[in-house]
Structure 1
């Protein structure tokens, strides 16, 4: 098991006592308070600790590192650091190197593309997805449909917008032959009809980047027993939660490291079971991916390890920053990070529930689990309500929060399915917009009968402090209490 330890310093400051995260904020993220920033978009991107950035600069300027596709001293130095980074990722997830391979990618989206383009979809196979997937996961359906596979979505429902386990079983069993949203009502638990790993691929998020709901990791083994490979989108989950790959064994796991510790950007990972990786068939090759090749005879032999999936030259100057970042977060302790952001999320939710207009009507509509034992991460989606009970257009919130130095996220967060469920959009209405070419966001909102283009997302992380939440709650109260904001003067913006 991955060790849990108490350390004497977090980023150079004492880790003892309740003030440790406040000290961490001052030491590593002091630029927030120095610039009067309130940062509430950790699901969008983590913030870089000062020590990681300065350490990166010292390493790069203090050594000589070259393209690792060579045997020169500079290349060997890079190759050694690349190997150390792979080992650090495996250690962090408690993954057996005999079972798992680590492929470095530009981001989680790049990792998903690798799986989508090479997965052996075929006529009769299935791609089963949660409706609250990120668009980078939704895009897998284009690979599946191009090869004749069925793409089926499992809906999210209820006030918590959680994926229904009975409908998931219906999708995996293939009882519904109609592509699209599964509407079966099978309530039996996912369980044990063993089959060969040939039925298709299940792709779902460990944590929704829209609502913060955390879907059960136990579904991984249950889907595999039904003959599926499983792709776990862990990008929103791993910044504040432990993922133990000795306990849960997804075939493919995707992450973006800037979401965990802010630096470097432009580096993600596909952590793949070696037996699942062997089933992928790449549709092309590139520099760095082949063992041997002929131009005139037109043949090639792919490398037999992770290199077969790392196109061109990896970001060799930044990969050591992944090692350093993982060491940094492990010194703090993921359990402590989790407890920290969970407490702050509770403070945020509690404060939002108390916000009322003078007549007692609520100022906030929350999406995602609020209680009842449902797991949730430190991501809170909401809409603000005016004094007339109508939703405050999210573009107004973008403008007003920016003027107060608050960074948050508005829109659909590249997660249209969760947004469709949150606003209860019927499939008939969505289909009516499929072939309409409208010239403004307002035209689309009118067609879909939507009060706003999306929601407001507040997300917390390792650098967050209670005063950030207090600043946001004060902003909402002072700006919108007993008011009915309009949309005049706002530029139209189409998209998520």
Structure 2
């Protein structure tokens, strides 16, 4: 498929999980010695299609490569049994044009192989999934490997010393090490397993020693789970200060530094203060400067990074950005398992936190009746309330190894697809009036990634609104209904990010007019229009065909006859629901 030759070689894989007994007869996992697991890269044999279009290195010339860039047909994944012949021809022509503009897309061919081997269900179902910011899709091989592991082993509650419990504990330890290695954590970090990133953020909020004179500084363009920490801060007398969002989301570096300096603690110990940084916005597509972590730390702040939206498609190193604590969700990174997140945190920072309660698994001795208790010795265990999700932790280990193999290719692929999507949407016009069909509100990448291993200055999320021929915003419920009818899975609303959405929709001033008990319906009546955006987010399994179908859907919105038919179908369903 690419414009250079490649040999289909099955990479070295790690040995399967096996057991051995130590001198005390405790069952432990044999450590995997290879960086890649049995599911990494799939080792899928190449179809005859590639034999036709990937000549040997001796036969390939510069002229051949140039010709291939212009005439390479769309790959097999670009076709669906649900497409008409006309659509297949349109997709083929669009793909050729796309490759002329973005020839670097060829370098990500390995993700096409992944699409066929692990996400073929998308094309079988004719589904276009563009909600990776809501949740990534699981690779089928990860499910197979994990299911086989569960079928062949016996796992028990980690709060015991039986063989089954020892195996679970060994799996948990291995998963912790896999997380630390994936994020290149230096010595002194540990991992607290939680239900999700929100639970990890709550752990910090409830246990951070806020007091009178403390500060909690955060960006307006943050997830509600980051905003929620302000409840703990204000209840203990701390000052909550916001860094305003820019009109396109994110924050201004100079403004952020100014606010951090103005609110810095007089003493790190006497006035413990916290700075929470959103690594990447889930609605505005902004990546905030990670240099703020070091800057805030130098001023005396403890630092917290919400990396839930950043980690799935970006390389992040704790050795380079030594944040005190970082929250992630694994289902957003590789789709499975849900219900497992992590707080990657410095052990020294954990020692500063003051838990408001204790639970099973977090204590060594509890006096009952009485008030005495002693927490367990391991720092991470003091924050893992009850029983951790031990059945799914082996999938975390395999999932991280899986993602590490493909992560270098993702920024390049997603950069080309995002640029193409944004430019195509911006050019669409209504057939009757010539007015724009859509308005992209989120931040657009300033530069294209052109090499494998490069990093984008933005994410791969496009937040927009669709417009009527007269320029009014089309209802979000209509867009979602129309997209669903065409098997497109997207997201509408404010994405649990009120500050970022308000910036994009230019209603930041209206935020100041809100009152206790106000509802979203009240807010919309105050503003005079519906609030929210349409979000298209790309990820691990995204390809050209997904973006092409979204563009075709948006093109239909500009065709009066087609849009009217979709509107009537939506209106009829609304009437039926009312009845």
Tell me the equivalent position of 2:194.
105
Contact preservation (8 Å) 1:157, 1:421:
yes
Which range moved further: 394-403 or 11-20? 11-20
2:166 counterpart of 1:76: yes
Tell me the equivalent position of 1:434.
515
CA distance in 2 between counterparts of 1:274 and 1:246 reads 15
Q: CA deviation at 1:481?
A: 3.7
Consecutive unaligned residues of structure 2, counting only runs of 5 or more, are 1-33, 47-105, 448-455
CA distance in 2 between counterparts of 1:303 and 1:488 reads 59
Q: 2:223 pairs with 128, 134, 139, which one?
A: 134
Contact preservation (8 Å) 2:361, 2:381:
yes
2:241 counterpart of 1:152: yes
Q: CA deviation at 1:479?
A: 3.0
Q: 1:352 pairs with 408, 425, 429, which one?
A: 425
CA distance in 2 between counterparts of 1:361 and 1:434 reads 37
TM-score by length of 1: 0.88
Contact preservation (8 Å) 2:308, 2:329:
yes
Tell me the equivalent position of 1:241.
314
Q: CA deviation at 1:437?
A: 5.5
Contact preservation (8 Å) 2:425, 2:554:
no
Which range moved further: 414-423 or 334-343? 334-343
**Normalized per residue, which structure has more helix?**
2
Higher relative contact order (CA 8 A, sep 6+): 1
Tell me the equivalent position of 2:388.
314
Q: 2:141 pairs with 40, 45, 51, which one?
A: 51
Q: CA deviation at 1:369?
A: 2.2
TM-score by length of 2: 0.76
**3-state SS of the aligned residue for 2:403?**
helix
Tell me the equivalent position of 2:535.
457
CA distance in 2 between counterparts of 1:433 and 1:64 reads 54
CA distance in 2 between counterparts of 1:360 and 1:221 reads 49
CA distance in 1 between counterparts of 2:40 and 2:157 reads 35
Tell me the equivalent position of 2:557.
479
Count residues with an aligned counterpart.
Answer: 466
2:290 counterpart of 1:209: no
CA distance in 1 between counterparts of 2:445 and 2:222 reads 22
**3-state SS of the aligned residue for 1:104?**
strand
Change (3 A) 1:8 1:251: closer
**3-state SS of the aligned residue for 1:337?**
helix
Change (3 A) 1:295 1:42: same
Contact preservation (8 Å) 1:161, 1:367:
no
CA distance in 2 between counterparts of 1:340 and 1:276 reads 37
Q: CA deviation at 1:386?
A: 1.2
Which range moved further: 347-356 or 364-373? 364-373
Contact preservation (8 Å) 2:221, 2:497:
yes
2:330 counterpart of 1:286: no
Q: CA deviation at 1:19?
A: 2.9
2:43 counterpart of 1:12: yes
**3-state SS of the aligned residue for 1:323?**
helix
CA distance in 2 between counterparts of 1:107 and 1:338 reads 24
Q: CA deviation at 1:170?
A: 3.0
The structure having more radius of gyration, on CA atoms, is 2
**3-state SS of the aligned residue for 1:270?**
strand
CA distance in 2 between counterparts of 1:331 and 1:14 reads 18
Q: CA deviation at 1:349?
A: 1.4
How big is the alpha-carbon RMSD for the aligned residues of Structure 1 and Structure 2?
Answer: 2.6
Q: CA deviation at 1:452?
A: 2.0
